[in-house]
Each structure stands twice: as C-alpha cells, then as structure tokens.
Amino acid sequence: MSQPTVNIRSLTLAGLEDFFREQGEQRYRAQQVYDWLWKKAARSFGEMTDISLKTRELLSQHFTFPAITVNTTQKSEDGTIKMSFRLHDGHIIEGVLIPSGDRMTACISSQVGCNLACKFCATGMIRYVRNLEFDEIFDQVAIIGETARIEYNFPLSHIVYMGMGEPLLNYHQVLKSIEKITGPEGMGMSTQRITVSTVGIAPMIRQLGNDMVRFNLAVSLHSAINEKRNRIIPYNLRNSLGDLTEAIKYFHQQTGTRITLEYIMLKNFNDNASDAKALAEFCKSFPVKINLIQYNPVENSPFEDSGPERTQAFKDYLDRKNLVVNIRRSRGKDIDAACGQLANKLLNKNL
C-alpha cells in the first residue's frame, strides 16, 4: 500500500462514515473517531484508547495525522507560559498562556512568520513562510488548555488570535478553526470568549461583517494619523485609515459588535496631545473600547515605551472624551512572550 496523504482531520463526519462503510466497518466507528479528533482533541491514533488496535492500524494505513508537538516551554516570573510548537514540516510557531485572576487566556498564532513588516513587532521582522491549517491552530488551543489545567488546575477561559501572523490573511482557516473550537462537536467554547486581532485588512473586515461572525474583533491601530501609521504599518499605504473606518462601520452595522482598538504607546512618536486628539476623532464613527499597551523591547527596533506618566496623561485625555479606555500592562516580558515579542532566536533559525 502507498503512503497515506490525506489528513484525517480534513474529513467531515460524513466522510468518515463513508470510509468505514467502504472498509466494511460499522458506521458508529466514525462518530467514535470524530469525537477523539475534536471533542477529546487527540493528536495521534494511539491516543484513541477505546478504539481497537485493528481499527487504529486501519486509520494509520489510510490517513496522516500531522499534529503539532511542543518544542520548548518557558515560564515567566509572572506565571505567563510561552511555548514553541513544531509543525509537521519542521517549522516553528509560538503560543502563550496568560493567567490573570480567574481568566486563563491562550494567545495563538495563525501564520508561520508574517509579511506585513510592522516596525514595532518582532514577528514582522522574520519572513512569512505559510498559513497555518485550521487543525494546527486547533492544536495550539488544545495544548495550551492542557497546560492551564496542569499548571494552574484551571480551564482555558479565553482565546486571542494575537500571536504570530495576520489572521485575516488566513481568513478561511482561522474561521474554520473557530468553528471547531466553538462547535458542539469540538471544544464548545463561547464565541464571546474569542478575539481575533488584525492590523486592519479592510476588505476582510467587511467579509467578517458579511459572514455575521459572533467573535470579538480587535484592530491594531497604533496611530490615528495616516502619515505616522504609514511609517510603522506599511500595509496602511494601501489600506488607509479612511478605508479602515468605513470597514469597521460596516462590520458594526452588520454584527452589532463593538470593536477593540489596540494602541501601543511609543515614546515621542504616537503619545502626544495631537495623537490623542486624532484617536478620539477616529473613534467618533463607531462604538469602541481602547486598550493602551505598554511597548515591549524588540531587537533592532528604534522605539521605546512611553512610560507610565505619558500613558496616563494620554488616557486622561481620552477619558475626558467619554471613551472606554484601559491600560494593558505587559505580561511575560522576561521570556519574550509579551505583545509584539513572538519571534526569538529559535524561530529565526527555523524560518
């Protein structure tokens, strides 16, 4: 028999039923296997312990099971855990578990590398290789969830697509992963506990509106002045703030969901009074929540964090404009697991 080439997790339940029928096996086997794949998040045929060895061997003869594996694990002084994962083709991605009170958040990746080249982000400094498949995204959530239970005896409560890559440039695989994470045949997590973060791909934000998604959307804005945003987010040169505004308005009209704006505080670049005024003006078009984010050091980046006093002054201005504003403190900074830091020597070596 030739080597199998079909990923078993690409099959629907109906596809598995067809397979077992063709093999002269009982139809109920398909549901057993499907539950192992998604409800129990198995990552090998060997884990399917209530299925006979003969049936597992049959599966391995016909299907591949390219699950991701843990490559390295680091734990921060603040309890944050960063994990690097090895994919079936040898590439490396990273994910982070962020414990905070009664919340356990998984920060996961959607691409190997990134081609947007944002100037404040470590991942943007390494080359894009490929999109992740939906099952590779699912595996990150499953593994980080297991880690939360082992390390903290607490289940995963939230998921943010804020790791390596631009999720909306891997649109269909990201949405398919969310279907598996939230569906009753999978993890059954509420869509309201999932946030997808984008640099602001206007056509795909509109598509999210057309698809009437129910998860949360965060936009990495970082400046509400086109000239400044062009300098730190090259994609803004072909997708201006005007385009982004119209896309967000459309998304809100379609879904009724309030978006979150992520705003990294960069000293003497986007943190003065005119920047705060421009941000407040940008927010007039739709309901919004703003997260002001501490900048984390990235090698070869010219930027510095604004510091607590300038950040507070910036927040105070926005507060006076009756905007909902939070200051988001850095987590996992000592292990390069904080916002914008997901790219290390190991990753650069493997990409």
The answer on 327 and 246 residing in a single domain is yes
Q: Which helix (H) or strand (E) holds 96?
A: strand 92-100
The answer on 154 and 60 residing in a single domain is no
The answer on 325 and 224 residing in a single domain is yes
| pLDDT at res. 348 | 46
The answer on 281 and 264 residing in a single domain is yes
The answer on 304 and 208 residing in a single domain is yes
The answer on 90 and 32 residing in a single domain is no
Ranges of residues in the chain whose predicted pLDDT is under 70: 1-2, 331-351
Counting the structural domains of the chain, the total is 2
Question: What sign has the CA pseudo-torsion 38, 43, 48, 53?
Answer: positive
The answer on 45 and 87 residing in a single domain is no
What are the phi and psi torsion angles at 340 (to 5°)? 85, 0
Residue 1 lies in a domain: no
Could you say which of 107, 121, 283, 339 is catalytic? 339
Residue 203 lies in a domain: yes
The answer on 89 and 34 residing in a single domain is no
- Is 57 a known active-site residue? no
Last residue of a domain, one of 36, 64, 92: 64
Last residue of a domain, one of 64, 85, 102: 64
Residue 42 lies in a domain: yes
Q: Residue 175 corresponds to which tokens in the numbers above?
A: 């949405």
DSSP 3-state of 325: strand
Residue 20 lies in a domain: yes
What are the phi and psi torsion angles at 42 (to 5°)? -65, 150
CATH number for position 154: 3.20.20.70
| pLDDT at res. 349 | 47
Q: pLDDT of 240-285, one tens digit each?
A: 999 999 999 999 999 999 999 999 999 999 999 999 999 999 999 9
* C-beta separation of 218 from 239 below 8 A: no
pTM for the structure as a whole: 0.93
The answer on 128 and 172 residing in a single domain is yes
- Is 283 a known active-site residue? no
| pLDDT at res. 287 | 96
Q: Residue 254 corresponds to which tokens in the numbers above?
A: 């379609």
Could you say which of 17, 94, 136, 166 is catalytic? 94
Query: Cα separation of 188 and 201, whole Å?
Result: 28
Q: pLDDT of 46-92, one tens digit each?
A: 999 999 999 999 999 999 999 999 999 999 888 999 999 999 999 99
The answer on 170 and 27 residing in a single domain is no
The bridge status of strand 216-220 relative to strand 259-265 is parallel
The answer on 75 and 47 residing in a single domain is no
The counts of H helices and E strands in the chain are: 11, 14
Query: Cα separation of 131 and 215, whole Å?
Result: 21
The answer on 267 and 234 residing in a single domain is yes
CATH number for position 13: 1.10.150.530
| pLDDT at res. 119 | 82
Q: With CA atoms as reference, report the closest residue to 118 among 197, 31, 23, 185.
A: 197
Residue 103 lies in a domain: yes
| pLDDT at res. 7 | 97
- What range defines the domain where residue 115 resides? 69-350
> Going by C-beta distance under 8 Å and a sequence separation of 6 or more, which residues neighbour residue 80?
96, 97, 98, 99, 331, 332, 335, 337
Instruction: Match 């507070």 to its residue by tokens.
Output: 312
